[in-house]
A and B are shown apart, each in its own frame.
Chain A
Amino acid sequence: MPQPILSLQQVKLTLEGNAGPVEIIKGISMEVFKGETIGLTGPSGSGKSSLLMLLGGLERATAGTVTALGQNLSSMNEDELARLRRDHMGVVFQSFHLIPTMTALENVATPLELAGQRGAFKKAEAELEAVGLADRIDHYPSQLSGGEQQRVALARASAPKPDVLLADEPTGNLDAANGTAIIELLFGLRKRHGSTLILVTHALGLAQSCDRLIELDDGRIGLDCA
């Protein structure tokens, strides 16, 4: 039996809110295997993005165990988690989250540089070319459209050829045409690098186009089907 690349055992997440603690994830157990594409869906506030953050080590579980690539994330410090993401994960956000003081090329080259890869800028340039932004490499984020910014974010996430791609509603801020183009690029890049993809989306059709569909309901898995 293959080892899961990501695994959650009875994971809970409680965050402090203005009105007191709010339990977002209420005991989730699941396994993700190498090469899978998973569509994570559910109503707003069901905990989709929080679950994605837990899988990426961007949020710490209040209870339970999160394991990624054989490592227990709960026992790792912040720098160890950063190194894990650097070497194995790429994250795409709904609001792109590009660094505004860097050009498109610099944004994409940064994770490669952090990983100590040789020729980071050459690789970044190639990755930007792959997402159709060869003529925009010296532009700052504010000089790019929303669709272009998301393509830069995609190139940045996929450039280090990550084992796991985590995408949090990557089309949420885009129009239909741009959204479709981004999804095609995302799946293309995943295929090219053989990455595992976990895609948070409200679009049921998009989620169903993944190998596996997980539906969250009030912090719990409501449906998990292939």
Chain B
Amino acid sequence: MPDLGVASIAAIGSVRTSIEQGLSRKGAAILGGDAEVTFSYRFADAVERDWMNANSERTSEIIDFRSLAVVGDGPDAKRALTQVKGVDSEYPIYGELELDPPIKIDDALGLRDGIQGAIFHPDLAEQLEVDIGDTFMLGNAKFRVSAKLLAEPDNIPSGFQLGPRTIVHTNALDDSGLLGPGTLFSSRYRLEVADSANLDELRSDAEGLLQDSGLVWRDKRNASPSVQRFVDRVGSFLILVGLAGLAVGGVGIASAVRAFIDGKTQNIATLKTLGADRQTVFAAYLIQVGGMVLIGTAVGAIVGSLIPVALAPFIAGQLPLPADFGIHAKPMLEAALYGILAGLLFSLWSLARTQDIRPGALFRDAVETGWKLPAPAFIGAVAVFAATLVGLFAWLSGVPRLALWAAAGIAGVLVVLCLAAIFVRWFAHWLSQKRTLHGRTALRLAFGSVGGPRSEAIPVVLSLGLGLSVLATVGQIAWNMNRTIASDFPSVAPEYFIVDIQNAQIDEFRDRVAANPGVAKIESAPMLRGVITKINGMPAVEAAGSHWVLRGDRGITYSELPAEGTELTRGKWWPSDYSGPPLVSFADEEGRELGLELGDMITVNVLGRGIAAKIASFRKVDFSTGGLGFILAMNPSALAGAPHTHIATVYSTETAGKEVFKDVTSAYPNVTAISVRERINYFARVLAQLAAAVTYGAAVTLVTGFIVLIGAAAAGERARVFEAAVLKTLGASRRRILLSLLTRSAIMGLAAGTVAIFAGGVSSWAVMKFVMESDYSFEPVSAVSIVFSGVLATLFAGMLFAMAPLNASPARVLRARE
């Protein structure tokens, strides 16, 4: 039964390793060079270019920014957001662009009839309803669509891309007005280095020589760290789901071993009568059970590792990442290790029962009537196996915190389910004794069976309940996140973000937008981008770790006075006429996470210049409303002379938002307007896809739970056949027996489903509140469907195993037991 959990962990691990190896093997092509140096909002200066030329065989310069592609003019013009890549004649150093029609890149980007060529992503062509040969504008520059982009080797999805790709020659953007001072763009320099070059030395040389320049270094050994992180996280999360599957399977093992030992009671009693001591008996059954665990785990690990290989032709086409599908030893061994540990962990408790069976069992029909703890040595061994399993998982998963929380969550849910199962047994027993059930034989039999000895309630509620709990948690989280994104968020979020507004344009822009009666509010702020390079003189990452604020560039604004609604949590804002050394107001929550204090010095690289500023205050920044929020706000004189643009948010009705979009993008071709509504819809779609993927993962847990359920039903079949034979002898009709069998199944399904809703509700509440930091509300439809699924699953298993009791011949069954 845990084989399925082992198989899913092996399968997920194999896919992850396949992607990791694919990313590693194609590192240079994904990166577009052996190494890449990135600068934000500026080109490399002469010193930097000299260093790159001296240390590479070949260099290629790429610029990347977002803009609006416009087709036509006047009120009927069509506009679409696009991620523009400006390239030089060296591009691409590695790999090939795949174009339709299959022409060379130089031909595609070249000048024809006085118009520069451009390559469009097919999605963009579709949005703008253009085809090969049609023209469009980027800012003030005109381009002709010369080819459609089918594959781009150096562009794997790495998070936030605002629009489909357009590729043009960087030179062709000279007259576009899109790369003015302060414009938000990044420049990337891809280096081809000699095979003999040492990338570590090059990196440290670059970072040493060009320190404080704000450069970000990447090389082919870790070409896409954000993708790597994403793959790692999704993989780890899915393995967590696999761990839940392993726990469900473990419950199945415990139940199966218990049934196995119960079936061997007579043998064990006989062995003890003949003088076998407890250790000998325990060892004999440990070897048998251990052998079965080993075989099951090996099968699970091998099958799990083969699944991705078998599905490779289908997966490879769907996956936006390179993957080297094959049999990978590490994930297979990892899964096998988990399987063996879980198998031993869950079987030990049941195996300990061999110690309690006394020779006297030979003389009566031994039925478990009470519950007792195994010997301390067994409890200790169980604890050691559990700690080893969790520790190993925390270590190997690469996300120890998440792994420990998840393990604690699974253990917590198991405890809750166990208590619930005990309560269900007690309640069913209590109810079966009540006068109200007297005369309702089928019901009394059902409750008596659930509440009595040999009850299947504990394994069924545990296994099915855990599977349903995972599903309920995923369902509740997905629903709450969708609700937050699709309904709550837009009610407070702006309709449009507008970036790259030049200083000379901002006042007129505000007046123009405010003139629209549908606009409720406009917020704007000067914006620069900068990378935090040092904290109190030490490299930032060394001082504060790998926090997201330190990864890449962050928005910086400046202001004489605190913006309207600013809430300072510590320190003071600078005087309005302050012109002393640079001061900064830092976002409170992120500051705490980085361990920053008032008076600390942070160095921020803005456009290649390092600005050291003292933290004068901390302030609350709420990113959840979708409005303007800056980690860093400085006094104006600190950024004096730094070229910058403005960012604005427009709060309006949907219709007014569209009017503003058309108006400002026509009036100011250099600005880029981003529809928050479209972004929200995009995120909702991505979220739905993620939720679907996780639901498939959770389904593995549920399937395992269902198999355990079937196992429990099968293990109890012999007892039910006997019970039915006796009942038939006493005069019970088959209908009544069937009703009793199905009622007991439904009771257990109902219990598992109800507990799953509770467990799913609590865990999803915890995730929404503490991880997502968002509101939680209970979603009843999926909850009801969970209970319904529980009842349906147990009814199905009940039906499946009802045939034998119903068709049993009483004489033969009873005679066989004489």
B372 in the interface, Cβ–Cβ < 8 Å? no
Contact partner of B455 among A49, A50, A101, A114, CB < 8 A? Answer: A101
Contact partner of B365 among A84, A111, A142, CB < 8 A? Answer: A142
A82 touching B731, Cβ below 8 Å: yes
B367 in the interface, Cβ–Cβ < 8 Å? yes
Given A97-B817, A114-B731, A142-B369, is A102 in contact with B448 using a C-beta cutoff of 8 Å?
A: yes
B731 touching A115, Cβ below 8 Å: yes
Contact partner of B453 among A86, A87, A140, A145, CB < 8 A? Answer: A140
B452 in the interface, Cβ–Cβ < 8 Å? yes
Given A58-B810, A142-B365, A142-B366, is A101 in contact with B453 using a C-beta cutoff of 8 Å?
A: yes
Q: Which of B176-184, B511-519, B654-662, B720-728 contacts A (4 or more CB under 8 A)?
A: B720-728
Q: Can you list, as one digit per residue, whether each of B441-474 has a CB less than 8 Å from chain A (1) or not (0)?
A: 1001100110011110000000000000000000
Chain B interface extent, by class? 35 or more
Contact partner of A79 among B363, B452, B735, CB < 8 A? Answer: B735
Task: Looking at the assembled complex, report how far the CB atom of B359 sits from the nearest CB atom of chain A, in whole angstroms.
Answer: 16
B439 touching A97, Cβ below 8 Å: no
Q: Can you list, as one digit per residue, whether each of A57-98 has a CB less than 8 Å from chain B (1) or not (0)?
A: 011000000000000000000110011111100010111011
A143 in the interface, Cβ–Cβ < 8 Å? yes
Residues of the A chain whose Cβ atoms lie less than 8 Å from the Cβ of B723: 99, 101
B454 touching A101, Cβ below 8 Å: yes
Chain B residue with Cβ nearest A93: B814
Residues of the B chain whose Cβ atoms lie less than 8 Å from the Cβ of A58: 728-729, 809-811, 814
Given A59-B811, A110-B727, A141-B367, is A78 in contact with B452 using a C-beta cutoff of 8 Å?
A: no
A49 to B452, CA, bound (A): 31
Task: Looking at the assembled complex, report how far the CB atom of B681 sits from the nearest CB atom of chain A, in whole angstroms.
Answer: 56
Residues of the A chain whose Cβ atoms lie less than 8 Å from the Cβ of B441: 110, 113-114
Chain B residue with Cβ nearest A139: B369
A116 in the interface, Cβ–Cβ < 8 Å? yes
Number of interface residues of A (CB under 8 A): 43
Residues of the A chain whose Cβ atoms lie less than 8 Å from the Cβ of B439: 113, 116, 118, 120
B818 touching A93, Cβ below 8 Å: yes
A91 touching B731, Cβ below 8 Å: no
Residues of the A chain whose Cβ atoms lie less than 8 Å from the Cβ of B818: 49, 93-95, 168
Task: Looking at the assembled complex, report how far the CB atom of A165 sits from the nearest CB atom of chain B, in whole angstroms.
Answer: 13
Contact partner of B452 among A102, A109, A115, CB < 8 A? Answer: A102
Given A100-B453, A106-B444, is A78 in contact with B728 using a C-beta cutoff of 8 Å?
A: yes
B733 in the interface, Cβ–Cβ < 8 Å? yes
A121 to B444, CA, bound (A): 12
Task: Looking at the assembled complex, report how far the CB atom of A174 sits from the nearest CB atom of chain B, in whole angstroms.
Answer: 12
Residues of the B chain whose Cβ atoms lie less than 8 Å from the Cβ of A190: none
Chain B residue with Cβ nearest A172: B818
Chain B residue with Cβ nearest A105: B433
A28 in the interface, Cβ–Cβ < 8 Å? no
Task: Looking at the assembled complex, report how far the CB atom of B453 sits from the nearest CB atom of chain A, in whole angstroms.
Answer: 6
B733 touching A142, Cβ below 8 Å: no
B367 touching A91, Cβ below 8 Å: no
A79 to B737, CA, bound (A): 11
Within 8 A of A (CB), among B286-327: none
The prevalent SS among residues of A at the interface is helix
B367 touching A97, Cβ below 8 Å: no
B733 touching A121, Cβ below 8 Å: no
A126 in the interface, Cβ–Cβ < 8 Å? no
Residues of the B chain whose Cβ atoms lie less than 8 Å from the Cβ of A53: 811, 815
Task: Looking at the assembled complex, report how far the CB atom of A151 sits from the nearest CB atom of chain B, in whole angstroms.
Answer: 15
Q: Can you list, as one digit per residue, whether each of A115-127 has a CB less than 8 Å from chain B (1) or not (0)?
A: 1101011000000
Q: Can you list, as one digit per residue, whether each of B674-686 has a CB less than 8 Å from chain A (1) or not (0)?
A: 0000000000000
Residues of the A chain whose Cβ atoms lie less than 8 Å from the Cβ of B521: none
Contact partner of A142 among B367, B736, B810, B817, CB < 8 A? Answer: B367
A118 to B729, CA, bound (A): 21
B401 in the interface, Cβ–Cβ < 8 Å? no
A140 touching B367, Cβ below 8 Å: yes
Task: Looking at the assembled complex, report how far the CB atom of A144 sits from the nearest CB atom of chain B, in whole angstroms.
Answer: 8
A12 in the interface, Cβ–Cβ < 8 Å? no
B733 touching A79, Cβ below 8 Å: yes
A143 touching B814, Cβ below 8 Å: no
Contact partner of A110 among B369, B435, B730, B812, CB < 8 A? Answer: B730
A114 to B723, CA, bound (A): 14
Residues of the A chain whose Cβ atoms lie less than 8 Å from the Cβ of B104: none
Task: Looking at the assembled complex, report how far the CB atom of B631 sits from the nearest CB atom of chain A, in whole angstroms.
Answer: 65
Residues of the A chain whose Cβ atoms lie less than 8 Å from the Cβ of B719: 100-101
A146 in the interface, Cβ–Cβ < 8 Å? yes
A156 in the interface, Cβ–Cβ < 8 Å? yes
B453 touching A113, Cβ below 8 Å: no
A53 to B725, CA, bound (A): 13
B365 touching A141, Cβ below 8 Å: yes
Residues of the A chain whose Cβ atoms lie less than 8 Å from the Cβ of B731: 82-87, 111, 114-115
The 10 closest A-B pairs by CB, nearest first: A86-B731, A101-B452, A58-B811, A142-B367, A53-B811, A59-B811, A111-B730, A79-B733, A113-B441, A100-B367
A-B contact pairs, 16 of them (CB 8 A): A50-B811, A59-B812, A95-B817, A97-B729, A97-B814, A99-B726, A100-B367, A101-B449, A111-B731, A120-B439, A140-B452, A141-B367, A142-B364, A142-B365, A142-B367, A142-B453
Q: Write the residues of chain B forming the contact surface with A, with a CB cutoff of 8 angstroms.
A: 363-367, 369, 432, 435, 438-439, 441, 444-445, 448-449, 452-455, 719, 722-723, 725-736, 809-812, 814-815, 817-818
Known pairs A85-B729, A106-B432, A142-B365 / 5 extra A-B pairs, C-beta < 8 Å: A97-B726, A99-B726, A110-B441, A114-B727, A142-B367
